[in-house]
Amino acid sequence: MSSDADAPVDAGAASVEDLRAQVQALQEEVSDLREATDDDGQKSMTIIATKGTLDMAYPPLILASTAAAFGWDVVVFHTFWGLDILHEKKSKNLKLSAVGNPSMPMPNAVAALPFMDNVATSMMEKKIQENGTATVEELIETSLDMGVDLQACQMTIELMGYDEAEFYDGVTTGVGAATALQHMADADVQLMI
């Protein structure tokens, strides 16, 4: 009925049949693709955290804990100075740099004085407390509780001379760039902070 031979006399019916078949084939293809690409609809995020200053410790932790609240699969891969965020002792003593930050209410010549980083850090810590903003430690504990995978790059642990035991319990060690890339390749959101 839908063969080409019928076309001249039954063009309308033939094309409807063809379209039906095409639609069905497309539906099957879409369904196969969905199955292959989006198994359970869970979103995934990978963040690479490379900075160890007080202000730069917050964005990855805030995004990671919030994404976990959305039910996303989250990995934060910490490397270089980002390792300090996971370092139990150092994380409680992260500094804000007064130099090279145009938002600081002082010229660089003043900001470069030896005690100014401590002044800037104390000011920021006071603001964090007054604003009801969680501490870095609280955000780490919260993220770990919610199932965020906080990873510490093995190469930089050794480069910086850290001991794995110095990191928070629950931090993943023994991972490298390949592990990070593997998660990034499947992630819906990838960020380098």
Partner 1 sequence: MSTYEPTETLDVKGLSCPMPVVKTRGAVDDLESGGILQVVATDSGSMSDLKGWADSTDGVSMLEQEEAEEDGDAVFRHFIQKE
> Applying CB under 8 A, which residues contact partner 1?
41, 62, 65-66, 68-71, 131-134, 139, 142, 146
- Cβ distance to partner 1 smaller for residue 123 or 146: 146
Choice between 111 and 148, CB closer to partner 1: 148
Cα separation, 110 vs 47, whole angstroms: 34
Distance in Å, CB of 125 to partner 1, minimum? 15
DSSP string computed for 57-118: HHHHHHHHHHHHHTT-EEEEEE-GGGHHHHBTTGGGG-----TT-TTSSS-HHHHTSTTHHH
Q: Whose Cβ is closer to partner 1: residue 107's or residue 132's?
A: 132
- The answer to whether the beta carbons of residues 150 and 83 sit under 8 Å apart is no
